């Protein structure tokens, strides 16, 4: 029987990063993945393919609507969805092969098959052809991720009533895509098809989109996406989804309790994701789940069975690739005797719509609920020279600082390249910068990042320079 110091089950951004770090630290490491390609949800049907389609559709949108303003005259551009999806598949292929290369380079043994516990130290790998192999492992890291969730009354036929996985592989551009759920995934994929010419209607149960983010971001994103032609039905509870041939009918109740019906040719159900533990036979190892079906862990990501750890989407916390990866590193370093730490408050969240939305730290709503005395600085992107040069005028940066100490407690941005700019805010907050610290740092001109400095200046109570 093969023996390992560590076996990782699942090769998403949690699992493969954990395996690499374990191997770097000298631990004999194995990874088990049930699919033939490495990289999990993120690389195969999540972060990477969605961003590939967002980028392609953004080029199309620019060619269609913005080139002429820049003095570039082209014939009416046409969207070739088949090529777009093929390019997306090429990107996924290169990226997942990169992970296989990293496994080889780090001498990690890869098992293709479903991993299941035989005991707390033995894991069975069941391959596609039904054959099995059992391995012995001192430690195991469960990194089995998540799957799309649905509503109990919805039948996902995966043709017209679809999840994000199918939305990344459509064969035609929908005429009318109804998106159930105004969270990150729904808005990103809704944006892709809106740009390609679909009518897009988002039906959301809450009274706002991206409900966990700062209310100001939610309002601005709603405004900008409406301007782009996306429709929203907020405070609307879906009651039924019925398919009839090529038509799908969504019946819902609005906030007055009145029935509303919206018909489309595709319905994307993006109401969140659920932890995935099917097939693991956790009971054979004695590993407990919590009330929401997540693997229960302590602050060291250790389960109730001391040699078994769990990370990423399958445990509590934000379902984000970089959170999963940080947890993978944390567990690996602990197993090697180190004492790492994750500051969960500083895990940034991003929505890759255009403009992009990004945030780190606490929202104004959270801080008010906690009774923290705060001051808020704002700066609109349209006041920047860089924004006018590129034509990306929408959005703002909002910085929340502690009223007394001036420490930055939250940075919330919507605007061009916010996804990349948020790293500056994470760095500042990691070093517990005050708003004045940021306001006094030189920011290159002309850049979108100047809005961070200006918003910080506004938060200190001084007047932003370019207002
Ligand atoms: C459309 C979409 C877009 C997204 N965009 C972003 C984004 O831009 N940024 C971001 O941070 N996050 C994004 N996410 C979320 C991100 O994909 C997840 O947070 C991340 O993949 C979680 O990583 P993980 O390692 O925990 O699990 P996963 O990536 O889900 O990987 C788990 C792996 O375990 C394997 N597995 C499961 N059970 C077994 C078993 N018993 N044996 C062997 N293998 C098994 C699965 O096949 C899978 O490969 C997106 C998700 C979706 C769906």
Give me the residue spans of the domains in the chain. 2-148+274-342, 161-271, 346-460
The yes-or-no verdict on residue 285 having pLDDT over 90 is: yes
Indicate which residue's Cα is closest to atom 6 of ligand 1: 47
Q: What does each C-alpha distance from 200 to 194, 239, 266, 268, 295 come to in angstroms?
A: 6, 19, 10, 10, 36
The yes-or-no verdict on residue 82 having pLDDT over 90 is: yes
The per-residue pLDDT for range 444-464, each reduced to its tens digit, is: 999 999 999 999 999 998 887
61 phi/psi in degrees, rounded to 5 = -60, -45
Q: Which residue among 49, 143, 144 is best mutated to probe the pocket of ligand 1, counting the most ligand atoms within 8 A of its Cβ?
A: 144
At residue 466, the pLDDT reads: 81
Measure the CA dihedral 277/279/282/285, to 10°.
-140
- 465 falls in which pLDDT band (50, 70, 90)? confident
At residue 464, the pLDDT reads: 78
Q: Name the residue with tokens 């009533």.
A: 161
Catalytic residue from among 59, 65, 70, 445: 445
Q: Which class would CATH give 346-460? A: alpha beta
Q: Name the residue with tokens 């020279």.
A: 385
Q: Note the pTM of the prediction, 2 decimals.
A: 0.97
- 186 falls in which pLDDT band (50, 70, 90)? very high
For the domain 2-148+274-342, what is the CATH code? 3.50.50.60
In CATH terms, are 2-148+274-342 and 161-271 the same topology?
A: yes
DSSP strand E in 320-418: where?
349-351, 356-361, 374-380, 396-402, 408-415
| Ligand 1 center to 145 CA (angstroms) | 5
Question: What 3-state class would DSSP assign to 383?
Answer: helix
Mean pLDDT value of segment 220-245: 98
Mean pLDDT value of segment 88-97: 98
Mean pLDDT value of segment 364-393: 97
Percent with pLDDT over 90 in the chain: 98
As to burial, measured by CB atoms within 10 angstroms (0-12 exposed, 13-18 middle, 19+ buried), residue 178 is buried
The yes-or-no verdict on residue 183 having pLDDT over 90 is: yes
At residue 302, the pLDDT reads: 98
At residue 370, the pLDDT reads: 98
The yes-or-no verdict on residue 131 having pLDDT over 90 is: yes
34 lines ligand 1 (CB under 6 A): yes
Identify whether the C-beta of residue 314 lies closer than 8 Å to the C-beta of residue 143.
yes
The yes-or-no verdict on residue 47 having pLDDT over 90 is: yes
Percent with pLDDT over 70 in the chain: 100
Give residues with Cβ within 8 angstroms of 443, minimum separation 6.
449, 450, 452, 453
Does the annotation count 176 as an active-site position? no
Alpha helices in 196-341 (DSSP H): 215-227, 282-285, 321-335
At residue 93, the pLDDT reads: 98
At residue 33, the pLDDT reads: 98
Fold of domain 161-271? FAD/NAD(P)-binding domain (3.50.50)
320 lines ligand 1 (CB under 6 A): yes
| Ligand 1 center to 32 CA (angstroms) | 14
Indicate which residue's Cα is closest to atom 37 of ligand 1: 144
Mean pLDDT value of segment 356-367: 98
């Amino acid at each position: 029987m093969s023996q390992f110091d560590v076996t990782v089950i699942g090769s998403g951004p949690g699992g493969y990063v954990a395996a690499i770090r374990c191997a770097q630290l000298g631990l004999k490491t194995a990874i088990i993945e049930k699919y033939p390609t490495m990289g999990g949800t993120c690389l195969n049907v999540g972060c990477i393919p969605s961003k590939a389609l967002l980028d392609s559709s953004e080029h199309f949108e620019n060619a269609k609507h913005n080139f002429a303003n820049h003095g570039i005259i082209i014939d009416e551009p046409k969207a070739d969805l088949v090529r777009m999806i093929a390019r997306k598949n090429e990107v996924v292929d290169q990226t997942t092969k990169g992970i296989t290369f990293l496994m080889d380079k780090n001498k990690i043994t890869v098992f293709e098959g479903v991993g299941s516990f035989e005991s707390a130290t033995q894991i069975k790998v069941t391959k596609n052809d039904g054959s099995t192999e059992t391995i012995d492992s001192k430690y195991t890291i469960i990194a089995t991720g998540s799957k799309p969730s649905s509503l109990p009354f919805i039948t996902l036929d995966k043709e017209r009533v679809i999840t994000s996985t199918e939305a990344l592989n459509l064969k035609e551009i929908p005429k009318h895509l109804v998106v159930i759920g105004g969270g990150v995934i729904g808005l990103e994929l809704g944006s892709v098809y809106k740009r390609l010419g679909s009518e897009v209607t988002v039906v959301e149960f809450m009274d706002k989109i991206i409900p966990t983010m700062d209310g100001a971001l939610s309002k601005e994103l709603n405004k900008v996406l409406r301007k782009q032609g996306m429709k929203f039905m907020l405070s609307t509870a879906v009651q039924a989804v019925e398919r009839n041939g090529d038509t799908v009918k969504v019946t819902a109740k609005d906030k007055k309790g009145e029935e509303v019906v919206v018909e489309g040719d595709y319905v994307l159900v993006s109401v969140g994701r659920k932890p995935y533990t099917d097939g693991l036979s956790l009971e054979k190892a004695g590993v407990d789940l919590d009330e929401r079906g997540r693997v229960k862990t302590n602050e060291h990501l250790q389960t109730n069975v001391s040699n078994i750890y769990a990370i990423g989407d399958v445990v509590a916390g934000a379902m984000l690739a970089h959170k999963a990866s940080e947890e993978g590193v944390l567990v690996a370093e602990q197993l090697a005797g180190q004492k790492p730490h994750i500051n969960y408050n500083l895990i940034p969240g991003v929505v890759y719509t255009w403009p992009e939305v990004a945030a780190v730290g606490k929202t104004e709503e959270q801080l008010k609920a906690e009774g923290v005395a705060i001051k808020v600085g704002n700066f609109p992107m349209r006041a920047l020279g860089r924004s006018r040069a590129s034509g990306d005028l929408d959005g703002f940066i909002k910085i929340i600082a502690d009223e007394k100490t001036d420490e930055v407690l939250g940075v919330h941005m919507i605007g061009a390249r916010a996804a990349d700019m948020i790293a500056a805010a994470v760095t500042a907050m990691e070093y517990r910068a005050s708003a004045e610290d940021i306001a006094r740092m030189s920011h290159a001109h002309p850049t979108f990042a100047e809005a961070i400095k200006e918003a910080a200046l506004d938060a200190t109570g001084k007047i932003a320079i370019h207002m």
